[in-house]
C-alpha cells in the first residue's frame, strides 16, 4: 500500500518516523556543566604548581574585600582537590610588588595610563621569580564579572551555568511559571599566564 503512492500512507509513515526521532531525542540525558572542570595543558599538569593572582572583583560589589577572599579560597581549594599545589595570592602580590618597584612600574609616565606591554613584562619577570622560589610554572588569574542573565520560568542561564531564581524572587517560590526577563549574575573569568 505504501508503494502505490497513497498520500495518506506516506503521511502516516512520515509521522511515524518523526515520532521515533522526537522520542529518541527526548530520551537524551541532561547536560551538567561544571565551572571548575577545565582541560589543563600537559605542561601545567606536569609542573603541578600554580600561582594564584588576587581575584579581581567589582569595586561596587558590597563587601568586595570579603568576596575577593572567598573566591580566592574557593579557587585554591578546587585546585588542591584537582591535585595542584597552590602558591597563594599574597605571595604573588608581594613578588609582583617587589619586581614592579625594581623596574619602575607599569604605567606610562606621560599619559599616566597602564601600559599593557610593560605590565606583561612585569608578569613574566614575576612568574620567573615565582618559578625559582616556589616552583610555580603558571599563573592563574581570575576575575568576577557581573553579567545580565536571561531567565524563563524559574531558571536563569548564562555562560554555561543554569540556576534557579526562585529564592531571588521576593524570597518565595516562583509565583508564575511563565515569567521571563533578565537578572544580574556573577561569572568567573579565568586565564592562565605562563
What is the C-alpha to C-alpha distance for residues 146 and 176, in angstroms, rounded to an integer? 26
What are the sequence ranges of the domains in the chain? 1-30, 42-193
Helices 89-103 + 116-134 axis angle, to 10: 120
Quote the pLDDT of residue 28. Answer: 45
Question: Nearest to residue 133, comparing CAs of 104, 102, 99, 106?
Answer: 99
Does this model's pTM top 0.75? My answer is: no
CA angle 117/75/33 to nearest 5° reads 100
Alpha helices in the chain (DSSP H): 7-26, 42-47, 64-81, 89-103, 116-134
The set of cell numbers assigned to 82 is: 584537582
Quote the pLDDT of residue 109. Answer: 82
> Chunked in runs of 10, what are the mean pLDDT values of the chain (194 residues)?
45 50 47 50 65 89 86 91 91 93 86 88 92 91 87 79 68 61 83 81
Amino acid at each position: 500500500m505504501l508503494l502505490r503512492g497513497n498520500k495518506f500512507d506516506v503521511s502516516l509513515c512520515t509521522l511515524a518516523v518523526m515520532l521515533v526521532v522526537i522520542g529518541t531525542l527526548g530520551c537524551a540525558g541532561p547536560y551538567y556543566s561544571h565551572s571548575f572542570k577545565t582541560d589543563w595543558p600537559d605542561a601545567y599538569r606536569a609542573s603541578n604548581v600554580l600561582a594564584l593572582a588576587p581575584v579581581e572583583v567589582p569595586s561596587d560589589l558590597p563587601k568586595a574585600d570579603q568576596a575577593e577572599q572567598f573566591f580566592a579560597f574557593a579557587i585554591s581549594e578546587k585546585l588542591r582537590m584537582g591535585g595542584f599545589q597552590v602558591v597563594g595570592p599574597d605571595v604573588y602580590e608581594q613578588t609582583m610588588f617587589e619586581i614592579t618597584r625594581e623596574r619602575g612600574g607599569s604605567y606610562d609616565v606621560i599619559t599616566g595610563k597602564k601600559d599593557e606591554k610593560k605590565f606583561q613584562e612585569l608578569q613574566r619577570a614575576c612568574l620567573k621569580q615565582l618559578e625559582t622560589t616556589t616552583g610555580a610554572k603558571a599563573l592563574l588569574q581570575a576575575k568576577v564579572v557581573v553579567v545580565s542573565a536571561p531567565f524563563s520560568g524559574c531558571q536563569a542561564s548564562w555562560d554555561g551555568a543554569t540556576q534557579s531564581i526562585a529564592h531571588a524572587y521576593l524570597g518565595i517560590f516562583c509565583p508564575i511559571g511563565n515569567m521571563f526577563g533578565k537578572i544580574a549574575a556573577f561569572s568567573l573569568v579565568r586565564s592562565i599566564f605562563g
